[in-house]
A and B are shown apart, each in its own frame.
Chain A
Amino acid sequence: MGSVYEVEHEQLGVRYALKAFTAQDDYADILKKKFLAEGKVLARLRDPHLIRVFDLAIDEATGVPYFVMDIITYSDGVPHTLDDVELGDLEEEYVVDWFEDLCKALDYIHAQGIVHRDIKLGNVLLREDRHVMLSDFGVSRIFGAGLSREINVTRTIVSDGKTETKLVMGTEGYMAPEVLRGQDATPAADVYSLGVMFFHLLTGLWYEPGTRALALLDSFKYRWRDILSRMLSVDPQDRPLPLSDLPRQLQPIESPEDLVPTKLKRSALWGGFWKRWYFILAAAVVVLVLVIATMALLRSNSKELLPPSQDDFNELFSSSDVFQPEEVGK
């Protein structure tokens, strides 16, 4: 619905991104309202992982609405979303960082009473420091009592054999089941979409409920399966909210590289070795042998300390080189 341009402030010389409304189709009026709503939503948000909006206006000459926001570029000087990332080049540690960034960002907007409703790879911008920022609040919705300012775009839903027209917004592959059925999106729907996105980043597959594909997550260094299986629950009530605690729960598990250490991890090798039961058994056998040998030694020594027997005397005095007493009276 909008085109983004790189602009420079004439006085300050600072570069920004300018998003201008360019839609020309049948829904232009509705989309124009959505566009302005996005600018207003973004303007009130302040979070390190959310795009900041500095200005929102309508161009007097053309009547085109626009807003000015942060320009986020990657190390090549060009803006990139996670959609541009080659999955095969990903390191899991990056994914963990991105998970933390986006959990914080979503937690913040949910606390502000906003549902993003379109969490997807194409709406996450990569920063130069390899952290990410959430963008595109074009279909976001203010929720909560007295704050409902939803902009309706209708779509035909077929559910239980009935056809009805209801609001559905977002991107199909990421949508929570209840949203696909035509229910209103809640923060739990954002959690589901975030789960789909991270499942795709990790496995290269689109999440499909009812398949065994979650088992793929067992092969990673972190406990993704525990986390993502909850985020991808069919029942929104079972999804974890708030999101703030999730990154902490994403603990590392034993990775193949950690199972047997490299040469640099020799101390760890010994640490693990001591824990093995067969080493303890071998040590116990050695100790037992030593105890038996010691006892045997002590026993042989104690025999020498016994008082001499009659046989000992007989042997002693029969010896030729022993003093023989002279006969008395000779």
Chain B
Amino acid sequence: MSAFPETSMTLLKKIAVQVTGEREAAWVRFFGLYEPAIKRFVAWHDSSHDPDDVVQDIFLKLVNVVQSGGYDSSKGSFRAFLATMIRRHLVSLYRKDQARGAGLHVDIDDVEPSVSADVAEQIDLKWRMARHQSAIEHVLTKTAISAQSRDIYRAYVEEERSLDEVAAQFGVAKAVIYKIKSRVEQMAAIIEEEFADEK
């Protein structure tokens, strides 16, 4: 656990602090949520990409966009701008891979998404799921909920084992399992609120 990890996003964080005047901690928090969500999306999408590389690539491109004057503060918050750009890059990645699969040529630097409504809907759904799952994972791996709660949640929800089986294994009543599931999801919902609205 590092307070302010030195990663590729450091430069973008500094720019964000300069642009918004917000504390660095606020941006550590912002990127701390987006990074795992992006990685999860990429991992689901296509195993041919290294999620770390995609994250680096996205943040570097964001730096370039911001430094070349791509952000207009009159059109919305910097947070929402970043969130929108991240989504666009993910759409672009998806589109390129689809085109590559169909034997089409796509410019690697083309980040302007141009996909059908169905595909866009599919990507949005995947992106929402990625954010939701990374929020759940945050609750399970980065908060001080009890180890038993964590294990019960994983057994019942992620491993999809039956209520009876989980209750017997952990020696708890079924109501406890429901309660734990509900609490983890409530916490995840609060964390999901931390993601910025995309334009």
Interface residues of A (CB under 8 A from B): 83-88, 90-92, 95, 120-122, 158, 171-173, 180, 201-208, 211-213, 215-216, 219-221, 255-257, 259-264
Contacts and interface: CB of A to CB of B under 8 A. Distances in A.
A196 B186 CA distance: 22
Given A88-B141, A204-B143, A256 B193 contact: no
A192 to B, nearest CB: 13
B48 to A, nearest CB: 29
Contacts of A212: 190, 193
B196 to A, nearest CB: 12
B149 A172 contact: no
Contacts of A261: 173
A288 B23 CA distance: 68
Interface residues of B, number: 39
B3 A216 contact: no
A136 to B, nearest CB: 14
A172 B190 CA distance: 24
A212 B142 CA distance: 18
Contacts of A203: 142-144
B179 A256 contact: yes
30 contacts: A83-B2, A85-B1, A86-B1, A87-B144, A88-B141, A88-B150, A171-B3, A172-B23, A172-B24, A173-B23, A202-B144, A203-B143, A204-B142, A205-B194, A206-B25, A206-B26, A207-B25, A219-B186, A219-B187, A220-B144, A256-B179, A256-B180, A257-B146, A257-B148, A257-B149, A257-B176, A260-B174, A260-B175, A261-B173, A263-B171
A120 B2 CA distance: 11
Given A172-B25, A216-B143, 8 more contacts: A87-B143, A92-B144, A173-B3, A204-B142, A206-B25, A208-B25, A216-B191, A219-B145
B29 interface: yes
B44 interface: no
Tell me what chain B mostly uses at the interface: helix, strand, loop, or mixed. helix
B104 interface: no
Given A201-B144, A220-B144, A173 B24 contact: yes
Given A173-B3, A208-B29, A259-B179, A264 B171 contact: yes
A120 to B, nearest CB: 7
A113 to B, nearest CB: 28
A213 B26 CA distance: 13
Contacts of B144: 87, 90-92, 95, 201-203, 220
Contacts of B176: 256-257, 259-260
A219 B183 CA distance: 6
Nearest to A180: B23
A322 to B, nearest CB: 71
B24 A256 contact: no
A155 to B, nearest CB: 14
Nearest to B180: A256
A88 B151 CA distance: 12
B146 A121 contact: no
Contacts of B26: 206, 208
A262 B186 contact: no
Given A88-B141, A259-B179, A263-B171, A120 B147 contact: no
Interface in B112-149: 138, 140-149
Contact of B143 (A172, A202, A257): A202
Given A204-B142, A216-B190, A256 B1 contact: no
A111 B179 CA distance: 44
Best-buried of B21, B32, B148, B179 by chain A (most CB within 10 Å): B179
Given A88-B140, A261-B173, A215 B146 contact: no
B28 interface: yes
Contact of A122 (B3, B179, B194): B3
A156 to B, nearest CB: 13
B19 interface: no
A217 to B, nearest CB: 10
A201 B3 CA distance: 11
Contacts of B146: 91-92, 221, 255, 257
A160 B175 CA distance: 54
A85 B142 CA distance: 11
A84 B147 contact: no
Contacts of A120: 3
Contacts of A121: 1, 3
B172 interface: yes
Best-buried of A84, A206, A264 by chain B (most CB within 10 Å): A206
Nearest to B4: A173
A198 to B, nearest CB: 10
A213 B24 contact: no
A113 B128 CA distance: 51
A275 B4 CA distance: 50
B25 A173 contact: yes
Contacts of B21: 158
